[in-house]
Amino acid sequence: MKKETNTATPSEDASHRVWHLARNELEEDVAGLEYALMRGFEAFGRWQGECLASVMDISASGPENAMLHIIRMHDRPKTIKELARLTNRDDIPNMQYSLRKLVAAGLVSRHGSGRSGVTYTVTEQGRQVTDRYADVRATLFITAIQSIPELRNRLKDAAATIDLLTGIYEQAARHAATQRHFNQSS
C-alpha cells in the first residue's frame, strides 16, 4: 500500500485552517499562543480563587486575589495608581470595588484621604491569609513545577516572552486606538 504525501504548501492547502485568526503559519502560531494565554489566564484565575478559598472563606476573583498579593508585595503601602501600574490595569472603578471588598473582608486597610493620599496595606489577618496561601501554593503548585525537569529554567524565558508580548500588545492597542475614528468614518 503506497503512502500518500501532501505536497501542497501551507498557503496552497489552507483547508486544515478553520480559524479566521490563523490564515498562515505565523498567524497560526500567534493564534495558538493567544488561545493558550486565554486558557492560561482563566486557569490561573480559577487556581487563585480556589487557593484563596482553601485558606479563608471568601469568594474572590483572580484579579482581587492578585491585588491582595500585590498590596502585600515588599510589605509597603500602595496607592491605587501604583496598583494599576503594577497590574497593568486601567479599570479604576473595578479596582476600587475590589479594594472595598478586600477592606470589608478585613484583609486590607485603607489609610489617608483625597485622591493622591490614599494607600492600602494588608492587615494582620491579610498577612496570615497570604502566608497560608503561600504555603498552599508551595505544596500544590511549586511542588508540581519541581517535578517537571527543566521547567524551572523555562519559567524565566516564559516570563520574559510574556513581558515582551505585553509591550507589543500595548503598542498595537495604541495604534488600533488611533485608527478607530478613521475606520468608523469610512
Q: What is the pTM of this model?
A: 0.79
Split at pLDDT 50, 70, 90, the class of 60 is confident
Split at pLDDT 50, 70, 90, the class of 9 is low
Average of pLDDT values for 128-146? 95
- CB of 67 closer than 8 Å to CB of 83: yes
Residue of higher predicted confidence among 17 and 114 = 114
Which among 180, 81, 68, 38 has a CA at the least distance from the CA of 129? Answer: 68
Q: What Rg, from alpha-carbon coordinates, does the chain have?
A: 22
Number of Cα atoms under 13 Å in the Cβ half of residue 129: 26
- Cα 172 to Cα 178: distance, rounded to the nearest angstrom: 10
Examine the pLDDT at 1 and tell me if it is beyond 70: no
- Cα 49 to Cα 64: distance, rounded to the nearest angstrom: 9
Average of pLDDT values for 99-126? 93
Percent of the chain exceeding pLDDT 70 equals 88
Residues 33-54 have pLDDT tens digits of: 999 999 999 999 999 999 999 9
- Cα 167 to Cα 1: distance, rounded to the nearest angstrom: 52
- CB of 62 closer than 8 Å to CB of 48: yes
Angle at CA of residue 9, ends 8 and 10, nearest 5°: 120
Examine the pLDDT at 185 and tell me if it is beyond 70: no
- Dihedral (CA of 100, 37, 161, 146) sign: positive
Residue of higher predicted confidence among 153 and 78 = 78
Amino acid at 156: K
- CB of 132 closer than 8 Å to CB of 125: no
What is residue 8's predicted lDDT score, i.e. its pLDDT? 47
What is residue 15's predicted lDDT score, i.e. its pLDDT? 52
What is residue 179's predicted lDDT score, i.e. its pLDDT? 86
Average of pLDDT values for 126-137? 96
Examine the pLDDT at 63 and tell me if it is beyond 60: yes
What is residue 94's predicted lDDT score, i.e. its pLDDT? 94
